């Protein structure tokens, strides 16, 4: 009996738990605290944190690949949705079904602000190259600057899968911290008078325009850049479902059930890639720092281009809406609205900021397609 108890104890996970596993479990618990107590992207950080915790429990082998005559772990099979490039495009379908492109169609100039905010991606890419990362890793780090988790996962799973957990956590952490990171940058680059600028009401957008836009966007973007097809195609397909008005059940499913189901599997499996061997390195600190630089530069470049548009239009464009050009929908647009109302309580910039915000989603997917074209 004693031998059985002794064998049980020696074969337990606790007996085989090293210092690295303990550290990773503690990190997972910190992320759970931030998600539950502080409300930082809980829909994503909770699954990611639990995935990280499960993958670092000794003996569980949930990410173990199958061997001859032996099945792999549960999370290994679920991870194939990421590995095969299935989950991120499905998330984009759901985002498209939940997004109104009307503000961007009503004011096409805001697409330039969405494009300007993507400069942070290229800035971080060059910075990562200078820090010694190879091209594939640098491209994956740079995409963090778009503040678009699904795009970051899609690109990294193709170019640098060993960095997937680190980059996904960085991308979603910065998305959650948009209300903390962006306001100081906006205030530093704009004057009180610029922040108080009121913009004219947007023109009404017809149903025909809203239906035609995703079709034309698919044809033009994928025609020019086929590597962007998975993300852009699914984004526009989801939006077409919404704007067609004839498939409400499909739209309801995409906006709710499908979105949350895929989010659970995506978060769990991405978190499970963050094992101690790849996560507890100096490289992780470099990735985190470059991700913050990328996001900050993206915000700043959007605001600076907004200032140029403000001058060019004779003060009709509030330069703050350029900060919404990063892809964090709709958090970045809400930040612009909040900062604008601090200067002028009667100023309503939300719909104006949604133009660059949704164009930023398209922009980050296009940039990911460009990087895939050059590095695949």
Residue 251 lies in a domain: yes
Q: Are 116 and 323 in contact (CB under 8 A)?
A: no
Residue 199 lies in a domain: yes
Residues 6+ apart with CB under 8 A from 315: 197
The pLDDT value given to residue 3: 73
Q: Are 340 and 332 in contact (CB under 8 A)?
A: no
Q: Are 156 and 139 in contact (CB under 8 A)?
A: no
Confidence of residue 207 (pLDDT cuts 50, 70, 90): very high
The mean per-residue pLDDT over the stretch 263-286 comes to 85
Residue 45 lies in a domain: no
Q: Are 358 and 235 in contact (CB under 8 A)?
A: no
Residue 330 lies in a domain: yes
Using CA atoms, how far residue 40 sits from 34, 173, 178, in Å, is 6, 7, 10
Q: Model-level pTM?
A: 0.90
The pLDDT value given to residue 1: 66
Smallest Cα–Cα separation from 241: which of 208, 211, 206? Answer: 211
Q: Is residue 9 predicted with pLDDT exceeding 80?
A: no
The residue ranking higher by pLDDT, 346 or 15, is 346
Residue 58 lies in a domain: no
Q: What is the rounded distance in angstroms from the CA atom of residue 271 to the CA atom of residue 160?
A: 15
What are the tens digits of pLDDT across the range 315-348? Answer: 899 999 999 988 878 888 999 999 999 988 888 9
Q: What is the rounded distance in angstroms from the CA atom of residue 235 to the CA atom of residue 154?
A: 14
Domain count within the chain = 1
Q: Is residue 95 predicted with pLDDT exceeding 80?
A: yes
The pLDDT value given to residue 175: 76
What are the tens digits of pLDDT across the range 180-202? Answer: 889 999 999 999 999 999 998 88
Q: Which domain holds residue 189?
A: 95-375
Residue 57 lies in a domain: no
Beta bridge partners of 70: 67
């Amino acid at each position: 009996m004693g031998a059985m108890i002794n064998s049980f104890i020696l074969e337990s996970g606790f007996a085989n738990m090293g210092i690295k596993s303990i550290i990773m479990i503690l990190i997972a618990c910190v992320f759970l605290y931030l998600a539950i107590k502080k409300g930082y992207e809980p829909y994503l950080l909770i699954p990611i944190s639990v995935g990280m915790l499960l993958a670092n429990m000794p003996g569980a082998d949930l990410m173990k690949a199958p061997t001859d005559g032996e099945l792999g772990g549960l999370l290994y099979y679920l991870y194939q949705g990421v590995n095969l490039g299935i989950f991120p495009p499905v998330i984009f379908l759901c985002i498209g079904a939940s997004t109104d492109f009307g503000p961007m169609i009503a004011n096409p100039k805001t697409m330039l602000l969405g494009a300007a905010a993507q400069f942070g991606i290229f800035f971080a890419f060059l910075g990562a190259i200078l820090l010694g990362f190879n091209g594939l890793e640098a491209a994956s780090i740079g995409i963090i600057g778009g503040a678009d988790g699904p795009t970051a996962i899609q690109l990294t799973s193709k170019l640098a899968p060993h960095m997937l957990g680190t980059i996904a956590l960085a991308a979603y952490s910065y998305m959650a911290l948009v209300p903390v990171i962006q306001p100081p940058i906006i205030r530093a680059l704009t004057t009180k008078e610029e922040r108080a600028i009121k913009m004219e009401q947007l023109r009404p957008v017809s149903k025909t325009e809203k239906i035609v836009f995703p079709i034309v966007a698919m044809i033009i973007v994928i025609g020019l850049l086929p590597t962007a097809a998975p993300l852009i195609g699914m984004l526009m397909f989801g939006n077409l479902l919404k704007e067609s008005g004839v498939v409400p059940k499909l739209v309801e499913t995409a906006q709710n059930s499908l979105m949350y189901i895929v989010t659970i599997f995506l978060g769990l499996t991405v978190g499970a890639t963050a094992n101690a061997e790849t996560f507890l390195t100096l490289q992780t600190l470099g990735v985190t720092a470059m991700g913050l630089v990328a996001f900050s530069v993206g915000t700043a470049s959007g605001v600076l281009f907004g200032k140029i548009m403000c001058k060019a239009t004779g003060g009709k464009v509030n330069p703050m809406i350029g900060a919404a050009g990063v892809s964090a929908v709709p958090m970045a647009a809400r930040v612009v609205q909040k900062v604008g109302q601090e200067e002028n309580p009667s100023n309503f910039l939300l719909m104006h900021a949604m133009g660059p915000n949704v164009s930023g989603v398209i922009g980050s997917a296009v940039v990911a397609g460009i990087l895939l074209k050059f590095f695949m």
